[in-house]
A and B are shown apart, each in its own frame.
Chain A
Amino acid sequence: MTQLFPRNANSIARTSILLALVGVGGLGAALYTVNRSSYNSGQLIVKEQPVMFSHKHHVSGIGIDCRYCHTAVEKSSSAGIPPTETCMSCHSQIWSDAPMLEPVRESYRTGKSLQWTRVHDLPGFVYFNHSIHVAKGMGCEVCHGRVDQMPLMYQQNTLFMEWCLDCHRQPEKFIRPKDKVFEMGYKPQGDQLALGAKLVADYKVRKLTECWVCHR
């Protein structure tokens, strides 16, 4: 009886097993990469907005405090997006006929809201509260990055759950004095971990990592 399989059958079998393993692994790796990529997280991606608003210009250029526009940040879950009226409080006087600001003036004229594209977008099952983070010495910069150096707004961090937990487990790595919360480019005086540990104790910061803190 002749041999059913040629001599190289063994090699082909071995190679194909190897290739299959590599393929499965590669597919896994590819999915993992896509999942972690900014394609999925939205990290560092500038989104189109009705008005090319520059935080850099308004924050570091003019020196406007975060809370001038984001008025609810110390009171509520939402930081608040300013009403058109807030823009117009200056722009009815300066750059009052700049073509770039036409959508703002149109909104003010017609009473129709500007429609911004959300940059930091948490899933519907995550409940974040700005006011408590700000009250406990968590600077805007910690999550939002150097907004004062962003001509156009983008999401600095992944907003993955592990990223949240990173701080919720070790707030001392990120906490700052309450009077520095709204400061951009804050540098701790001395060792962050030592200062952080003291602030965590002073501000009675709890390391809340339970599900219902954010999911409910």
Chain B
Amino acid sequence: MSSQPNLPIPPPLDLEAIRARLDESKGPQFWRSLEEAAGAPEFQAWLDHEFTDGTSEWSDGVSRRRMVELLGATLGLAGLTSCTKQPPEKIVPYVTAPEDVVPGRPLTFASSIPGVGGVAAGVLVESHMNRPTKIEGNPEHPGSRGGTDAQTQAAILGLWDPDRAQTVLREGRNSTWQRADESLKLLREQMLSRKGAGFRLLTETVTSPSTGAAIKDLLATFPEAKWVQYEPAGRDNARAGARIAFGEPVTAVYHVDQAAVIVALDSDFLVSGPGAVRYARDFADRRRNPASGMNRLYAVEPTPTPTGSSADHRLPATSAEVEGFARALAAELGAGTPAATVKNAAFLKAAVADLAANKGASLVIAGEQAPPAVHALAHAINAALGNIGKTVHYIDPVEVSPADQAAGLKELVGEMQAGKVDTLLIAGGNPVYNTPADLKFAAALRKVKVRIRLGEYDDETGAVCHWVLPMAHPLECWGDLRAFDGTVSLMQPLIAPLYEGKQLIEVLAVLLEKGGREIRDVVKEHWRAQIGASTPHFDDFWQKSIHDGLIAGSASPAKTVALRKELAAELGAAPAGGDEVLLRPCPNVQDGRHANNAWLQELPRPISKLTWDNAVLMSPATAQKHGASNGSMVRLANAVTGPVWIVPGQADGSIVVHLGYGRTRVGKIGNGVGFSAYALRTSANPWRVLGAEVRNTGDSQVMAVTQEHGSMEGRAIVRKASLDEYTKQPDFATHEEKKHKLFSLYPEWKYEGYSWGLAVDLNACTGCNACTIACQAENNIPVVGKDQVNRGREMHWIRIDRYFEGSIDNPAIHHQPVMCMHCENAPCEGVCPVAATTHSEEGLNQMTYNRCVGTRYCANNCPYKVRRFNFFLYSDWDTKSLHGLRNPDVTVRSRGVMEKCSYCVQRINWARIDAERESRRIKDGEVVTACQAACPSGAIYFGDLNDKTSQIVKVKADTRNYALLTDLGTKPRTSYLAKVTNPNQELAPRAEAKPAHGGNH
């Protein structure tokens, strides 16, 4: 990553003035950045320049003489490039063709990919002649229902990442698996004689039953050996909370679709954590049709999350206040816990009344990082409300061993320090980087005599280990994993390991002298032993299970649980309030595991819209207190230094820092991006640092943030109303527009064949970003790097605009995915001098790359700012492994070419060819765009507007349907269903009093 901070650092913000401006409602109703809210001249300048400063000029100080040289060379080379002769190409057929492979047509295989906590995401993987290129959700998988999250979409880039560990290393030198196996066999001999004393296995959370069985086998063979699990963003708190509430670490499974009222306590259950993809779908299903009633979501959280922005009422609260709120809620609802006071009594009262009125149809969810007490309280409240068995049920833990990971790690480090550990096998994870700073893991690790590392990257941990063994990517593995509800999800390899990677179970097999067996058979035999007796025709059953990607009916049965009487006593005292620093896994790179994934690094974070960086997130008031503005460098607890980013809606007094950055040894992409917040972590308080000193160093840094990119200058872009307003005026979104009739001088074009259209339901969209990454994977979209993002040159075909509404301290937050509108009267088409962008008979706004000469007139003339230009050769044409990643049905663009959303025309073309071959029309649902397929909440609809029975026609007939900037007469084919919120009448409505349909013209 080259960072060229030659962009000017913006002047500090006057937050008081912004607050006053917004309070007096002179400011815009919807705003995207503090600069916009302030009406800052810099923001206006940004808007006025179509391609932003520096996009059209040389930015690295080119002299006049050099310029002339370059011009001359350009002239010469420009002519020459058109003279390339196509290089000869080889055709390499099979020797023996495999069954089912038809060249040119991809096959799809079901598999599973582990997420944080080892919980399975059920996926279908597209494979072009055994080359996996695209991941989709598995519609039959309970955790997916066809949707995926951004990380699962990006896993395909992780597979082809050229920076993965490529070979066995012994003390930094190339070695072989054969040598490693010999050493492992020697190790086995030594362990046998000592019953495994001094051997420790450190893994991430294991949910795989077959791997779990192998580990148990290992512990039985070597009784003195120990197994420790550690994940920095693991579920310790959830397990501890369940232990307090029920005495056992049960896993909660929510039925969000059954809940009319939901209270999220510091929980981002719609986007992160196990089951989020499923919950998002279930949540959206109760908001898709406001006319037939809506659920209501209350969110109490320190920093805005996608879940908080989907909430009808959101209360910013420090983590102590969240717990106080939970305690008060529990006491009020008769959960038998002591009373507590809260700052915002009205909010509590409204939530209590709503929950009490919906007994058995309500739900309280505690967040993954919330303290154990909040989890316990949430369980107690759900029990008191009679929700257990209705909106939530409990199952045996999905983990093989639900041990307290922090305690286990602490014990392990103690033993390592004391010299009691001879051999440590670290499989997965990255403890040198991501363990709490106070444990000093790296120093302890150096005291271990033999350190073996099995990892996907030769990373920070690998650097301290004697052996580095490349680990197979999940798409290279046979295996099994459990989903959020316990469903056994099966993994099958899409490709042989690219870099001779192996799985943990293979390494364990050597230690157990059970090597030589195919892992496919190991997994199968494991399940034959488990369920073979009760399953007739097990081989057929297994074949079907592999095909489906899961073992049907294997979801864990609901467990009967009873609240413990000691619960109230074990909650302990309410936590001390005060200024705090909260540590959170990054919404994109999570605990740092995806740090080398360029797609996720460049993907704007859902709320802050930051790319390529983490930041010290603070509320406007907190920033004022510390004299900080966006980009000001602050030092936290004298341990880490990072730039401030001001987040409207954050709780005052809570500073949030995302983990997962500041990697030093992961690869070309992730090294040196952001700063590592693990230095702030202690094993006693992994998520919260109370009373940390915050010192403004006086320096500043430029941040690559996309929140102002593609602004449509405050026109009525997001439209919303409350349920009451909607009931009174169902066409609130277009009510004003209908008064002005637009007419055209030209006759209307008749679309006689197909007529494609897309709609996005803003009521379902959570801003989770899955669509953006799905689009990037499907359409071979390159990344550009921090410096280029700063110049407004990011290439995403779908940007998700995030709007704030109302006050600076607790604004409502809205998300709006914006892709090409495929206008019927497209302004871009008329201005192209070479007819590279034209209109198709099916209504598509076509972009023909090989015709484009790069004038950029089209982007200039696009009112929606959805066109992207390849200022440089952004696509990596040289790295061989990335060739494997590319979708062969989409051109890889070169420098100087404009591109934009195509409505996945390659998918339309395939569907059209298949239909035409059978002499029929394309059926509704046959063309599914990549964004539509990925969307966890099903917010995106696509189809043929001429097929009057199609879903898209029904969706577009909804009274909420509106299009952007229709007054320009562009007639967009992409439209939006306006957002309807369901606020509680008891709570004073937020700043707005009237439905927002007009914006601030």
B892–A210 CB distance below 8 A:
no
Contact, CB under 8 Å: A82 / B93: yes
Does the CB pair A81–B849 fall under 8 Å?
no
Contact status A124-B891, CB under 8 Å: yes
B96 at the interface (CB under 8 A from A): yes
Interface of B is mostly: loop
Residue ID in chain A nearest B836 by CB atoms = A211
Stretch at the interface among B82-90, B173-181, B668-676: B82-90
Contacts A135-B916, A215-B850 given; indicate if A72 touches B102 (C-beta within 8 A). Answer: yes
- CB–CB B104/A212 < 8 A: no
Binary A-proximity of B854-888 (CB < 8 A = 1, otherwise 0):
00000000000000000000000000000000000
Bound CA span A121–B917, Å: 24
Across the interface, which residues of A come within 8 angstroms of B536, CB to CB? Answer: none
Q: How far is the CA of A116 from the CA of B93 in the complex (A)?
A: 8
B95 adjacent to chain A (CB < 8 Å) = yes
Q: Is B80 an interface residue (CB 8 A)?
A: no
Given A210-B841, A215-B848, does the pair A83, B104 have CB atoms closer than 8 Å?
no
Contact digits for B117-155, partner A, Cβ 8 Å, 1 yes 0 no: 000000000000000000000000000000000000000
B62: interface (CB < 8 Å): no
Is the beta-carbon distance between B95 and A212 smaller than 8 angstroms?
no
**A108: Cβ under 8 A from any B Cβ:** yes
Inter-chain contact B92/A113, CB cutoff 8 Å: yes
Give the docked Cα–Cα distance between A202 and B85 (Å).
Answer: 41
Which residues on the B side are within 8 Å of A36 (C-beta)? none
Say whether, besides A72-B102, A124-B892, A216-B902, A108 and B86 are in contact (CB < 8 Å): no
What is the minimal beta-carbon distance from B129 to any residue of chain A, in angstroms?
A: 10
Set A85, A125, A135: member contacting B97, Cβ < 8 A:
A85
- Chain B residues near A114 (CB, 8 Å)? 92-93
By the criterion CB–CB under 8 Å, are A210 and B838 in contact?
yes
Q: Mark A110-149, 1 if CB is under 8 A from B, else 0.
A: 0111111110010111010101100110000000000000
Of the stretches B157-165, B470-478, B691-699, B905-913, the one at the interface is B905-913
Q: Is there contact, CB below 8 Å, between A118 and B909?
A: no
User: Given A85-B97, A111-B95, A216-B909, do A76 and B103 touch, yes or no (CB 8 Å)?
Assistant: yes
Closest chain-B Cβ to A107's Cβ sits at a distance in Å of 6
Contact assessment for A113 and B844 in the assembled complex, using a CB-CB cutoff below 8 Å: no
A216 touches B889 (CB 8 A): yes
- Rounded to whole angstroms, the CA-CA distance of A71 and B103 in the bound complex is 10
Query: Complex Cα distance A22/B896, Å?
Result: 34
Q: Residue-by-residue, is B828-851 near A (CB-CB < 8 Å gives 1, otherwise 0)?
A: 000000000010110010101111
Residues of chain A with a CB closer than 8 A to B841's CB: 210
CB distance from A118 to the nearest CB of B (A): 4
The distance from the CB of B917 to the nearest CB of chain A, in whole angstroms, is 4
User: Closest Cβ of chain B: how far from A48's Cβ, in Å?
Assistant: 10
- Nearest A residue to B845, CB-CB: A212
Contact B93 A77 (CB under 8 A): no
Instruction: Decide: A211 and B848 in contact? CB cutoff 8 A.
Output: yes
Whether A211 and B90, one on each chain, are in contact in the complex, defined by CB atoms closer than 8 angstroms, is no
Is B916 touching A113 in the complex (CB atoms < 8 A)?
no
Q: Which of B88, B91, B92, B909 contacts A213 (CB 8 A)?
A: B909
A84 at the interface (CB under 8 A from B): yes
Q: List chain B residues, Cβ under 8 A from A169.
A: none
The reply to whether A40 and B88 contact each other, CB–CB distance below 8 Å, is no
Question: Which residues of A41-91 have CB atoms within 8 Å of chain B's CB atoms?
Answer: 42, 47, 71-72, 75-78, 80-86
- Asked whether A131 lies within 8 Å of B909 as measured between CB atoms, the reply is no
Q: Which residues of B contact A113 (CB under 8 A)?
A: 92-95
Say how far B638's CB is from chain A's closest CB, in angstroms. 55
- Residues in A with CB closer than 8 Å to B96 are 83-85
Q: Is A204 an interface residue (CB 8 A)?
A: yes
Given contacts A211-B838, A211-B851, contact A129 B913 (CB under 8 A): yes
Summarize A's interface: helix, strand, loop or mixed: loop
- A117's partner among B86, B88, B840, B902 (CB-CB below 8 A) is B88
Q: Please state if A107 and B838 are interface contacts (CB–CB under 8 Å).
A: no
User: Taking CB as reference atom, which chain B residue is nearest A40?
Assistant: B85
* Cα A97 to Cα B70 with chains together (Å): 61
**B90 engages A118 (CB within 8 Å):** yes
Report Cα–Cα, A203/B846, bound state, in Å: 27
The answer for the CA separation of A124 and B893 in the assembled complex, in Å, is 10
CB A201 to nearest CB in B, in angstroms, measures 13
| A83 vs chain B, min Cβ distance (A) | 4
**Cβ B916 vs Cβ A125 within 8 A:** no
Contacts of B88 in A (CB 8 A): 47, 117-118, 121
A83 proximity list for chain B (CB < 8 A): 93-97
B919 at the interface (CB under 8 A from A): yes
Inter-chain contacts of A47 with B (CB < 8 A):
88
Q: Which residue of B lies closest to A208 (CB)?
A: B841
Contact of A121 among B86, B838, B840, B851 (CB under 8 A): B86
If A72-B103, A76-B104, A125-B850 touch, does A81 touch B91 (CB 8 Å cutoff)?
yes
A150 to B818, CA, bound (A): 54
Residue of B nearest to A80 (CB): B103
Q: How far is the CA of A83 from the CA of B890 in the complex (A)?
A: 26
Given the interface pairs A125-B849, A125-B850, A135-B916, the reply to whether A115 lies near B92 with Cβ below 8 Å is yes
User: Nearest Cβ in chain A — how far from B823, in angstroms?
Assistant: 16
The CA of A116 and the CA of B89, in the complex, are separated in Å by 9
Q: In whole angstroms, what is the CA distance A182 to B790 when docked? A: 57
Contact indicator B846/A77 (Cβ below 8 Å):
no
Determine whether B105 belongs to the interface, using a CB cutoff of 8 Å to chain A. yes
Bound form: Cα–Cα A127–B849 in Å = 13
Q: Could you give, for residues 84-112 of chain A, a 1 whenever the CB lies within 8 Å of some chain B CB and a 0 otherwise?
A: 11100000000000000000000110011
Is the CB–CB distance between B91 and A115 below 8 Å? yes
Q: Which residues of A contact B850 (CB under 8 A)?
A: 123, 125, 215
Please measure, in the bound complex, the distance between the C-alpha atom of A85 and the C-alpha atom of B97, giving whole angstroms.
8
Determine if A132 and B916 form an interchain contact, defined as CB atoms under 8 angstroms apart.
yes
Contact yes or no, A211 B102, CB < 8 A: no
A84 touches B95 (CB 8 A): yes
Which B residues are CB-close (under 8 A) to A210?
838, 840-841, 846
How far does the alpha carbon of A71 sit from the alpha carbon of B94 in the complex, in Å?
13
B90 engages A204 (CB within 8 Å)? no
**Which residues from chain A contact B90 at a C-beta distance below 8 Å?**
115-118
Using A72-B102, A118-B88 as known contacts, say yes or no to A127 and B909 having CB atoms under 8 A apart: yes
| Contact among A76, A86, A107, A132 for B105, CB-based, below 8 A | A76
Q: Which A-chain residue is minimally distant from B842 (CB atoms)?
A: A210
How many angstroms between the C-alpha atoms of A76 and B909 in the bound complex? 12
Tell me if A76 and B102 are in contact (CB < 8 A).
yes
Query: What residues of B have a CB within 8 angstroms of the CB of A212 in the complex?
Result: 840, 844, 846, 848, 902, 905, 909
Q: How far is the CA of A77 from the CA of B912 in the complex (A)?
A: 13
Decide if B919 touches A80 in the complex (CB within 8 Å): no
For the complex, give the distance between the alpha carbons of A72 and B101 in Å. Answer: 9
Query: Which residues of chain A have C-beta atoms less than 8 A from B93's C-beta?
Result: 80-84, 113-114, 116
Nearest A residue to B892 by beta-carbon distance? A124
Taken together as a complex, chains A and B put the C-alpha atoms of A114 and B91 apart, in Å, by: 8
**Interface residue ranges, A against B (CB under 8 Å):** 40, 42, 47, 71-72, 75-78, 80-86, 107-108, 111-118, 121, 123-125, 127, 129, 131-132, 135-136, 203-204, 206, 210-213, 215-216
27 interchain pairs (CB within 8 A)? A40-B85, A47-B88, A72-B104, A75-B105, A76-B104, A78-B104, A80-B93, A80-B102, A80-B103, A80-B104, A81-B103, A84-B93, A84-B94, A85-B96, A107-B95, A115-B91, A115-B92, A118-B90, A123-B850, A131-B917, A135-B916, A203-B919, A211-B840, A212-B844, A212-B902, A216-B905, A216-B909
Q: What 5 A-B pairs are tightest by C-beta distance, nearest first?
A: A78-B104, A76-B104, A77-B104, A83-B94, A81-B93
